[in-house]
Amino acid sequence: MNTIQTKNTGIGLFNTDSESLEKYMHTISLLEKKYAVAKKERKVGNPALEKRYAIIVPCYNEESRFPFSDFLSFARSNPDVLLCFVNDGSKDNTLAVLRGIQIESPNNISVYSLKKNSGKSEAVRQGMLYMHKNFNASLLGFLDADLATKPEEWLQMAKHKEQYPRFGAIVGSRIQRLGADINRNDNRSLLSGVVKKFIRIILKSGFQDTQCGAKIFHKNLVPFLFSKPFKTPWLFDVEIFLRLQQKFGRSTLQKGVLEFPLMHWSEIGDSKLKLKDSVKIPAQLVMLYYQYNISNKLKTKSGYSIFDGKNSLVTNNKLKVGAASA
């Protein structure tokens, strides 16, 4: 199979500063045509079902910055790892780019496309469920498309987890320490520090970093952790830990989850989390604490929380007499 020759400067597939728009769109057109031919010949769309590992990569409007060569090199060097790129309803040509890389390594690259943009948390959730349903990987996880964490280190995490089979999950930790190359934006680190304190209070655990984008789970945990939609768009990592607490119990959470100090992590590009969203985080954390730690304790025998809108004990400003003892 002949490889489409494209430039890869920085982490992007195309260098739009030096290439004309005409040439750029011609390359996109070639990717789409090549995918159509390969699909017709059934050379894509059916990656091998038996893989040891599966990595879900959520993608939204990644057309000009997608690290095509890095992912392709990893896929070709690690045939036992299945890469699943989830197109989160992108408005640009991200889907064409993803189909282009799928053509180059069809045996271990899958593309799952969502019709509308639903956010990173939902893209990850849908990708995890899709891979769990259709493939037989024993360890499934995710990382960010910007390669802040390299897939090579994700694989190291997975192999480290295999040495300790009693643990159900392993999560990356961006701990700054001697010998590690951890580059974080100081301003974001300050915000992360505040958020981290809130999270520790909620989780009551000693985990160093719940927000790192690299996490891996045993396949048996996937239905429990990902079947229900997450309640927040930016704090789904925290929700995963809260769900793990429900699974393992608060006192035994640290006995069920491994924390893996990363050797390399880089802040790449601007944060998609805007200031107006950042200020909502404390309130969202409080909401999560209520939902996962208090709500269940306030449910009536009918299964509804006493504060659940139309199903609450107080509806239309009228007290339901006898409801409390029902």
pLDDT at 119: 93
- Identify the helix (H) or strand (E) that includes residue 99: helix 94-104
pLDDT at 103: 94
Q: Tell me the two tokens of residue 229.
A: 């939609």
Q: Buried (b) or exposed (e) across 118-152, using 16+ Cβ within 10 A?
A: bbbbbbbbbbbbbbbeebebebbbbbbbbbbbbbe
Q: For residues 52 and 137, is the Cβ–Cβ distance under 8 A?
A: yes
Q: Tell me the two tokens of residue 162.
A: 């295999």
Give yes or no: residues 2 and 122 share one domain. Answer: yes
Give yes or no: residues 121 and 15 share one domain. Answer: yes
Give yes or no: residues 132 and 103 share one domain. Answer: yes
pTM of the model: 0.75
Q: Tell me the two tokens of residue 226.
A: 């990902």
Give yes or no: residues 173 and 142 share one domain. Answer: no
Question: Which stretches of the chain score pLDDT less than 70?
Answer: 1-49, 176, 184-193, 206, 251-252, 268-278, 296-326
CA nearest to 207, candidates 258, 164, 162: 258
- Identify the helix (H) or strand (E) that includes residue 236: helix 236-248
Q: What is the DSSP letter of 53?
A: E
pLDDT in tens, 265-310: 777 655 555 656 667 787 888 888 888 877 766 655 555 544 444 4
Give yes or no: residues 2 and 130 share one domain. Answer: yes
CA nearest to 110, candidates 131, 126, 139, 89: 131
Give yes or no: residues 64 and 143 share one domain. Answer: yes
Identify the domain boundary among 147, 180, 199: 147
Give 214's Cβ-side CA count (13 Å radius). 25
pLDDT at 321: 33
Asked whether residue 320 is assigned to any structural domain, the reply reads no
pLDDT in tens, 78-116: 999 999 999 999 999 999 999 999 999 999 999 999 999
Give yes or no: residues 4 and 98 share one domain. Answer: yes
- Please report where in the chains the tokens 């997608």 appear, as a residue: 66
Asked whether residue 161 is assigned to any structural domain, the reply reads no
Asked whether residue 163 is assigned to any structural domain, the reply reads no
Asked whether residue 70 is assigned to any structural domain, the reply reads yes
- Identify the helix (H) or strand (E) that includes residue 202: helix 186-203
Asked whether residue 312 is assigned to any structural domain, the reply reads no
Give yes or no: residues 19 and 100 share one domain. Answer: yes
pLDDT at 215: 95
**Domain limits at 192?**
168-298
Give yes or no: residues 179 and 246 share one domain. Answer: yes
Asked whether residue 157 is assigned to any structural domain, the reply reads no
Give yes or no: residues 115 and 188 share one domain. Answer: no
Q: For residues 53 and 155, is the Cβ–Cβ distance under 8 A?
A: yes
- The span from the CA of 129 to the CA of 113, in Å, is 13
Give yes or no: residues 265 and 139 share one domain. Answer: no
Listed as own residue / partner, the contacts of 124-128 with beta carbons closer than 8 Å and 24 or more positions apart are 124/56, 124/58, 124/86, 124/226, 124/236, 125/226, 125/229, 125/230, 125/236, 126/86, 127/56, 127/57, 127/58, 127/84, 127/86, 128/56, 128/217, 128/222, 128/225, 128/226
pLDDT at 41: 56
pLDDT at 209: 76
pLDDT at 40: 56
Asked whether residue 199 is assigned to any structural domain, the reply reads yes
Give yes or no: residues 7 and 137 share one domain. Answer: yes
**Number of structural domains in the chain:** 2
Give 161's Cβ-side CA count (13 Å radius). 28
Identify the domain boundary among 90, 118, 147: 147
Asked whether residue 160 is assigned to any structural domain, the reply reads no
